[in-house]
A and B are shown apart, each in its own frame.
Chain A
């Protein structure tokens, strides 16, 4: 059986700004809320169905090295708190530019950044920030 092993090295943009070289972790969760459609006569619980479309409830969590230099992490992120923006992420850098079936590009449009920690400092450690973008509609591009 053929298998592939994927060494995680994704690329991402936040508000169209490429912060790949500041990122150390990225988790995109694609969620449709689970709506129960069980009715009398059923013998087991059911969820969803052909006539039931629930809401997406997606999240994107990313960890970035903090940087206060011009056009870097802090400058890019600070203004995004409390508003909607768009995230793109792909398993590879090439996938962001020319997505394909093996290098898909995921776009989370209209996601919301609730909070940000401008200062997250510990003695002797590189400062990092973890951001959670919530909501938005997810699309997957393969061409």
Chain B
């Protein structure tokens, strides 16, 4: 299921940074490709958090 992040201030009823579901956009009848090309949304791909090492407990 694709997710998108709002990247403009003009997207209806949303603010910049909101995450949208692709299925909801399809159901609303909007054209996702055009929204991406026009800079209103972009594909949202959250990165996994980097692994951290607990240096305190590793001490001898």
Contact = CB atoms under 8 A, between A and B. Distances in A.
Interface string B5-46: 001111111000000000001001111011101111000000
Contacts of B35: 15-17
A16 B12 contact: yes
A75 interface: yes
A35 to B, nearest CB: 27
Given A71-B8, A71-B9, A79-B31, A17 B25 contact: no
B34 A84 contact: no
Contacts of B40: 16-17, 71, 76
B34 A15 contact: yes
Nearest to A86: B29
Question: Contact residue range for chain A?
Answer: 20 to 34
A97 B25 CA distance: 16
A83 B12 CA distance: 20
Dominant secondary structure of chain B at its interface with chain A: loop
B28 A16 contact: yes
Interface of B: 7-13, 25, 28-31, 33-35, 37-40
Interface of A: 13, 15-19, 70-72, 75-76, 78-80, 83-86, 88, 96-97, 109-110
Given A70-B39, A78-B38, 18 more contacts: A13-B12, A15-B31, A15-B34, A15-B35, A16-B12, A16-B28, A16-B30, A16-B35, A17-B38, A18-B11, A71-B7, A71-B9, A75-B37, A79-B33, A80-B34, A86-B29, A86-B30, A97-B13
19 contacts: A15-B30, A15-B34, A15-B35, A16-B11, A16-B30, A16-B35, A17-B11, A17-B38, A17-B40, A71-B8, A75-B39, A76-B34, A79-B37, A80-B31, A83-B34, A84-B31, A85-B29, A86-B28, A97-B13
